[in-house]
Structure 1
Amino acid sequence: MDGEGIPVTSETRDEDAVLAALRRTWQHLDPSPDGLVDGMIAAVASADLGREYALLVLVESDASGAVRGDADLLTMQFTDGATNVLVHVTAAERGERRLDGWVDGDAVEVRLEQEDVADVGAADEPERHVTERRAASDGGRFSFDAVRSGIARLRVVLAAPPQPGAATELLTPRFEI
């Protein structure tokens, strides 16, 4: 018999019937607490929010737009609440940029990720590839030379979490250089 008093006969002993009877038995004997499923979905969805999203703040700038305009300097600050990153982007030779930054955490490495867009024709969507460059952090300071204009983001890899249970990576939102 299953948990609802329904006999399981040799005719219903295929795998699906046995599993269905077992499920009904456990649902009857040990039901899930109210809100468990919704709570688990919310917990899983928010587990990596600190890593996936950081706050972008325009600190100060002589620019009224992005660095690719007439401005010579753009300063941004990123934080996830535990680690802060300050970034200066300045104009360099041949239309390229220089990115200097500082991390207040124990950063091992900083990665600059930039999107490359390749046209594949009018009918198709453009292909997007990410180019990644790495820089070591020297006492929290890092820099990238010859940075091209475009969409970028930083991935800061920390030696250890800044607080118990915190992430060991800070991933900034995308920003335009």
Structure 2
Amino acid sequence: MDNDDVAADAALFARLRHVWETVDPVPADLIDRMVAAVAVHDLSREYALLTLTSASDLAAVRGESDTATLQFSDGKTGVLLHISATEHGARRVDGWVDADALAIRLVRGDQEWTRDAAEHGRFAFDDVTPGLVRLILVVRTSDGIREFQTPQFEL
């Protein structure tokens, strides 16, 4: 390929680009919309809204200081978790999901606990060793089947 061929190809591509820019121009806000869409997707997937609802001020007086209530939501699916310590130092996780959960997993590294949702979206994990975990649910929504993940949290 010589310089004349390269110049001819460049001119042809320039004319094609001009035609497409005239016939079907890129929307002015396309880049901003795409950046926002990716940011929202990442936020809903990796940074689901975490609200820590502390135990009441009386909990320490009542001896229930080893409990916590966590709420996760991405705007479409919500999960409420109540975490309590067992007599043996393990944790019990009681949960409720407001979507049709097809699979519920509590994951820590290579360890995984699986449960099915009962009536009203209730589920529980018994005797889970303390540490960082993540809850992963496969839910059915009006948009189809999708995965919901919480950020890691401490048991």
Report the CA distance between 1:23 and its aligned residue: 2.9
Pair 1:79-2:73 in alignment: yes
Which residue does 1:151 correspond to in 2?
132
SS of the residue 2:114 aligns to:
strand
**Residue equivalent to 2:114:** 134
Secondary structure of 1:61's counterpart equals coil
Q: In the TM superposition, what is the alpha-carbon distance from 1:29 to its structure 2 partner?
A: 4.9
Q: 2:17 maps to what in 1?
A: 23
> Match for 2:76: what amino acid?
A
**1:12–1:89 CA distance, 2 compared to 1 (3 A):** same
Distance change (3 Å), C-alpha of 1:132 and 1:20: farther
CA RMSD, Structure 1 to Structure 2 (Å): 3.1
Equivalent residue in structure 2 for 1:98, among 92, 96, 103: 92
Aligned residues with identical type, % of pairs: 44
Distance 1:76 1:38, change over 3 A: closer
Unaligned runs of 5+ in 1: 1-8, 64-69, 115-128
Matches of 2:131 and 2:9 in 1, distance apart? 56
Aligned residue type for 2:131 = G
Cα gap change, 1:85/1:18 in structure 2, threshold over 3 Å: closer, same or farther? same
SS in 1 for 2:26: coil
- Contact 2:132–2:153 at 8 Å: present in 1 too? yes
Q: Which residue of 2 aligns with 1:46?
A: 40
- For residue 82 of structure 1, give the secondary structure of its aligned residue in structure 2: coil
What is the aligned residue count? Answer: 146
Question: Within the alignment, does 1:168 sit opposite 2:149 as a pair?
Answer: no
Segment drifting more, 144-153 vs 21-30: 21-30
| Alpha-carbon spacing, 1:45–1:54, altered in 2? closer, same or farther (3 Å) | closer
The CA distance in 2 between the partners of 1:14 and 1:37, in whole Å, is 31
CA contact (8 A) 1:113 1:152 kept: yes
Structure 1, 144-153 or 54-63: larger mean CA deviation:
54-63
Q: CA deviation at 1:17?
A: 6.8
Q: Which runs of 5+ in 2 are unaligned?
A: 58-63
Deviates more, 1:54-63 or 1:15-24: 15-24
TM-score, with length taken from structure 2: 0.72
What is the CA distance between 1:144 and its match in structure 2? 1.4
Partner of 2:29: 35
User: In the alignment, is the contact (CA less than 8 A) between 1:73 and 1:91 conserved in 2?
Assistant: yes
Q: Which has the higher helix share?
A: 2
Shift of 1:112: 0.7
